[in-house]
Amino acid sequence: EREWFGERHVSPEEKTGLVHDVFASVADSYDVMNDFMSAGVHRLWKDRLVRMIRPRSDQVFLDVAGGTGDIAFRIRAKAGPDTAITVCDINPEMLRVGRDRAINRGWMDDFDWVTGNAECLPIPDASVDVYTIAFGLRNVTHIDRALADAYRVLKPGGRFYCMEFSRVTEPMLRRIYDAYSYSVIPKIGEIVAKDRDSYQYLVESIRKFPPQRELETRMRAAGFDRARHTNLSFGIAAIHEGWKY
């Protein structure tokens, strides 16, 4: 299945390389742009996710597509210094920014930073209590492979959490949101980050990602029990959770 990528159609194999380039080129502006485009709301969503997780220091955490460390830092803040937290991302540039931020916080040794693909994680079977992936799953080339690998690395009793852009549930709001994302976001990307194509890609990837119920179905197909979702800001984003028994 070929996918629209900026100006052209690309194969799944090409997508992985292009996604890499997108995040290598936005790594330094990534945090600023997140705040700018979501008016800071992504911080509240991430806080909400970590409140739902209720992290404890005796749990093993894996944050996939963890990029610049936003989720890992929140887990660390709640669970304390002696918590096992691995941040995995396909892009070493994003991890570099994350590591710099950890050093600035005085948390230099508190995380394992691992380069790896969500579809074939360099993580042993049944070794993780809590798997998180925030705004990462839509960038993965084969979502079902990533879900299957999440299931593999979780311990029995472990939990899966995905936070991702989803489908706006209010028709009126949806129209405003679509207009904003299609015309305004690439424009902001062009002006602020000097990179229209990367932000055009982000908008396209949001539109193509499976809506709430479909993602639940695919989680169940990967083996997860009790798959459910919680909408954030009328479904602009959603948190999906599932259990491995």
Q: How many other β-carbons are positioned within 10 Å of the β-carbon of residue 39?
A: 8
The smaller minimum CB distance to ligand SAM, of residues 168 and 206, is found at: 206
Compute φ and ψ for 205, nearest 5 degrees.
-70, -30
Query: Is 129 labeled as ligand-binding?
Result: no
User: How far apart are alpha carbons 50 and 75 in whole angstroms?
Assistant: 6
Give 139 or 200: the residue with its C-beta nearer to ligand SAM: 139
For 208, what's the count of Cα atoms within 13 Å in the CB-facing half-sphere? 18
117 is in an annotated binding site: yes
Give the nearer residue to ligand SAM in terms of CB position, either 60 or 137: 137
Q: How far is the CB of 210 from ligand SAM (least distance, A)?
A: 16
Residue 34 assigned as binding residue: no
Nearest residue relative to ligand SAM (C-beta): 67
110 assigned to a ligand binding site: no
In angstroms, what is the C-alpha Rg of the chain?
17
Residues 6+ apart with CB under 8 A from 25: 195, 198
Least gap, CB of 125 to ligand SAM (angstroms) = 18
- 60/64 with CB nearer ligand SAM: 64
One-letter amino acid for residue 63 of the chain = D
Judged by the rule CB under 6 A, the positions of this chain that interact with ligand SAM are 19, 23, 64-67, 70-71, 89-91, 94, 117-119, 134-136, 139-140
* CB contact set of 172 (below 8 Å; sequence gap of 6+): none
Binding-site residue numbers are 68, 89, 117-118
Binding-site residue numbers for S-adenosyl-L-methionine are 68, 89, 117-118
